[in-house]
Structure 1
Amino acid sequence: MTTAQRPVTPGGLAYGAGAYLFWGGLPLYVAATAPATALEVVLVRIGFTLVTCAVLLFALRRWHEVGRLLGSPGRLGATTLASVLIGANWAIYTYAVVSGQTLEAAMGYFILPLVSVLAGVVMFGERLRPAQWVSVGLSVAAVAVMVVGHGSFPWLAVGLALSFGGYGIAKNRLGVSVNPVSSLAAETVVLVPVMAAGVWWLSASGRLTLLSEGAGHFWILAASGLVTAIPLILFGAAAGRLPLSVMGMLQYLTPVIQFLVALLVFGEEMTAGRWAGFILVWCALLVLSWDSLRAARRQPRG
């Protein structure tokens, strides 16, 4: 059975919606880690994600898969690249939330599908359909409008989209046979030296809050491992149960929730330039989604 022929089941929808809603609510978790700095949140997330993955892999008796990823030169290269990109993504995202720029983080995940389309052209020589070119043009116009209206280039949004888009490409090179928890564990193992050096520096400079702000603060930071692993597991369960077209639609839940959290909970300012940029991106996504659904219907079944 191809992915397009998979039936849409309530269980699959629940898993998929759960994963994307979880990611959408992530700014609320990051805000709860105060007074930790963005750097500490990222470093602690690396450590506790590795611990969480280790527990899961030992329970499932699949720890040997991490050795396969790190022991093969080809897979080690792809894993290292994925590690660098996901580390950069976590850092940019956390900084965006901590610095009061969650709206720009939401913009980054809105433009992610468009970045993926461009990556197909640049890296794999794919030819775009006319509607896809319209989507790309609208997204470029959105960035231009935000530069003019907001007075600065949306570096955080573009950085998030590029880092996560690149992460997806690196993961694709590893192949679909790799267990997602094993892959995440291997990626965090690669980042352990960076984590250790960063934690040492924060501790030496008196900026480490992990053990100095009470038990509640410690457990909030410790929960970063579960916060990372739970949506990943839900996503993996959904990906095996839903058509790709449905997964593609569900992915917009994440930036929508982030947008609403930034606007309604954090009270971030929406200037006219930002509204114009977001509206152009939403139009681009509507065109892209319509074109993707139309192309999926035209594919032969069987």
Structure 2
Amino acid sequence: MNGATPARPARSEASVGVVQAIVAYGLWGLMPLLFAAMAPAGAFEIVAWRIVFGLVFCAVAIAVTRSWLRTRSLLAQRRVMLVMGLAAVLILVNWTVYVAATTTGHTVEAALGYFINPLVTIALGVVVLRERLRAAQWAAVGISVVAVVVIAVGYGQVPWISLALAFSFGCYGLVKKRVGGTVDALSGLTIETVWLVPIAVGALVVLGVTGLGGGVTFTSEGWPHVLVTVLTGPATAVPLLLFASSARRVSLSTLGLTQYLAPVMQLLVGVVVQHEAMPPARWIGFGIVWVALVVLTVDSFVAARAARRRTLAPAAGEPA
């Protein structure tokens, strides 16, 4: 009886973590609908308000959680600030490409970017961190390259949007790895938006003065438009915080499986809601990517199981 008691809280924690991961990736998957609801705002205005209201939301969250001291201590660390500054530039590129794609009829191509992102991350690990890959991982990366070639031939051009999203987010993760566990999710997003707010404000001023891209639409389209624009703040922060909380509760293999929910939903939004074209070449390319992801997922489960066995093997021989 007593031996079973500790397992229940662990299972409960894992269940909470799975729900948090599903909600986080589900919200990310629905993000194109939020950006579409912000029409006639252009991509640069949407990204600018996302940064401004993201920082406002983070400030409120920090006040509520009373974590000013932790965030302030990070702001005083030069190395952390420089690394987070680079991360901010990469996430700015990622957000801008993503918003531009999903508001101009390229949501499906954006979804492809997040499908191939895990494979790009592995490739970056080899090139930058000199990580050694297992045979199945090499196979998955090779299959994904074939998929990109097939899609490029079908498009008649390289899927630049997909590659830009995959590489910008992969590099973002690589840079964030440099600060490791020293920067929590809330403080990290706060610091990134602190870096980006001057750019966002500058962009809004330029848009307002020149009228480029439709100018600034925040106050000219009625209160529903204002409300939707303000919602970009929590829509940016909440999934990230849920993801961070989930990552502490569930295994990497479980988290790896749930991450595919976001691009699946983005693909559905693009095809079903926004009626984007899916010619045969595109379906074939996506199918090849999915084969690569199946290979990668199965390999990660096999590797995780082998690691658990190696961990438990010495303990089995120890006296009780």
TM-score of the aligned structures, taking structure 2 as reference length: 0.90
The aligned residue for residue 263 of structure 1 is 271
The aligned residue for residue 147 of structure 1 is 152
Taking the aligned partners of 2:75 and 2:84, their CA distance within structure 1 comes to 8
Matches within 5 A, 1:268-279: 268-279=276-287
The aligned residue for residue 113 of structure 2 is 108
Which of 103, 127, 131 lines up with 1:126 in the alignment? 131
Moved more, 282-291 or 227-236: 227-236
For structure 1, the residue ranges without an aligned partner over 5 or more in a row are 1-5
Amino acid at match of 2:39: A
> By how many angstroms is 1:171 displaced?
1.4
The aligned residue for residue 291 of structure 1 is 299
Which of 17, 20, 32 lines up with 1:27 in the alignment? 32
> By how many angstroms is 1:71 displaced?
2.2
The aligned residue for residue 56 of structure 1 is 61
The aligned residue for residue 196 of structure 2 is 191
> By how many angstroms is 1:60 displaced?
1.4
1:135 aligns with 2:135: no
- Taking only aligned residues, the RMSD between alpha carbons, in angstroms, comes to 1.2
Matches within 5 A, 1:147-226: 147-206=152-211, 207-226=215-234
Conservation of the 8 A alpha-carbon contact between 1:70 and 1:79: no
Taking the aligned partners of 2:287 and 2:34, their CA distance within structure 1 comes to 27
Which of 216, 227, 239 lines up with 2:247 in the alignment? 239
Taking the aligned partners of 1:159 and 1:64, their CA distance within structure 2 comes to 36
TM-score of the aligned structures, taking structure 1 as reference length: 0.95
String of CA shifts for 1:127-154, please: whole Å, max 9, x gaps.
1111111111111111111111111111
Taking the aligned partners of 2:43 and 2:84, their CA distance within structure 1 comes to 24
Taking the aligned partners of 1:93 and 1:18, their CA distance within structure 2 comes to 20
Q: Which runs of 4+ in 1 moved over 6 A?
A: none
String of CA shifts for 1:261-284, please: whole Å, max 9, x gaps.
111111100012211110110000
The aligned residue for residue 73 of structure 1 is 78
Amino acid at match of 2:64: A
Conservation of the 8 A alpha-carbon contact between 1:150 and 1:271: no
In terms of Rg, which structure is larger? 2
Moved more, 102-111 or 10-19: 10-19
Taking the aligned partners of 1:247 and 1:263, their CA distance within structure 2 comes to 26
String of CA shifts for 1:44-88, please: whole Å, max 9, x gaps.
000000000000101112123333333222111110011001111
Taking the aligned partners of 1:68 and 1:112, their CA distance within structure 2 comes to 32
String of CA shifts for 1:247-298, please: whole Å, max 9, x gaps.
0100010101111111111110001221111011000000111111111111
> By how many angstroms is 1:9 displaced?
3.0
Taking the aligned partners of 2:300 and 2:184, their CA distance within structure 1 comes to 28
Q: Give the match's secondary structure for 1:176.
A: helix
The aligned residue for residue 258 of structure 2 is 250
State how many pairs are aligned: 297
> By how many angstroms is 1:212 displaced?
1.0
Query: Alignment identity in percent?
Result: 45
Moved more, 56-65 or 210-219: 56-65
> By how many angstroms is 1:194 displaced?
0.5
For structure 2, the residue ranges without an aligned partner over 5 or more in a row are 1-9, 313-320
